[in-house]
Amino acid sequence: MTDFAGRHVIVTGASSGIGLATARMLVARGARVSMLARRQAMLDEEAAQLGANAAGFAADVGDKGALEAALSAATAHFGPAYGLFANAGLAGNFAPALSYSPDLFDEVLRVNLTSVFWAIQALAPAMIEAGEGSILVTGSMASKRGMAMNPAYVASKHGVLGLSRAIAVELAPHKVRCNCVIPGFIETPAFDLIPPDQAARINQRVPQRRMGSSDELAEVACFLLSPAAAHVTAQDWAVDGGVLNTLEV
């Protein structure tokens, strides 16, 4: 069962989309949830609706000091973390690789990849001490495929999948798991900006002929974070309606 029985789970990128849907579901299933994102007001508003088992801690995860301060505040509030859902990320910018901004490249890798490493370094020691823990990172179809015009995003998402596997094998003897969830085309606030004709073309690329919802992704995230997935580690799990493993002509 995906019952968290009061376990503390930290979710980054929790103010909207996949992170918010997962935070809500975790609370509904008994977890104490620390929600991290950049805007404290949005976190406070959502936490007030979720009740005493949710709290918000503002941080830009790409700022190591700010991230570590927020993680410390979260563990002081709810106790050591059983779970981490490292979901925060940047899309970067669509531009040719040869003219891509070096500063933006560094920023995307810092937010999408390095911040995950920082968070794991901060939280995993307590998981090891407790003899249980679950780490889930948000990858992308770009973790598994090349994509033109956004080298930073593709590099960061390939990197976070590799990091999750490295952490999984290293922490497995301590009963701490690490997995990577791979969203396909998921309806989030970012997709609201897509023109209807382009959205229709995206739907046609999916064997199920539709985008997924944040709640559908959250269901898988909650399973992978939960004790129900006790023998699942070092895996990448796509929630994509069949896109990655099919070829339709």
Task: Give the active site residue among 32, 153, 167, 179.
Answer: 153
Residue 240: what residue type? D
Closest CA to 10 of 112, 133, 114: 133
| Least confident interval from 75-79, 82-86, 206-210 | 206-210
Domain boundaries in the chain? Answer: 8-187+214-239
Tens digit of each residue's pLDDT (9 = 90 or more) over 132-181: 999 999 999 999 999 999 999 999 999 999 999 999 999 999 999 999 99
Question: What is the mean pLDDT of the segment spanning 192-209?
Answer: 82
Q: Which residues contact 245 (CB under 8 A, 6 or more apart)?
A: 238
Which CATH number is 8-187+214-239 given? 3.40.50.720
Question: Is 153 tagged catalytic?
Answer: yes
Sign (positive or negative) of CA dihedral 78, 79, 84, 89: positive
Q: What pLDDT is recorded for position 196?
A: 80
CA atoms within 13 A on the CB side of 97: 8
Q: If you compute the radius of gyration of the chain from its CA atoms, what whole number of angstroms results?
A: 17
Q: What pLDDT is recorded for position 193?
A: 61
Which H or E run contains 199?
A: helix 196-205
Q: What pTM value is reported for the model?
A: 0.96
Q: How confident is the model at residue 188 (pLDDT cuts 50, 70, 90)?
A: confident
CA distance 15 to 52: 17
Phi, psi of 86 (to 5 degrees): -85, 90
Closest CA to 10 of 49, 68, 64: 68
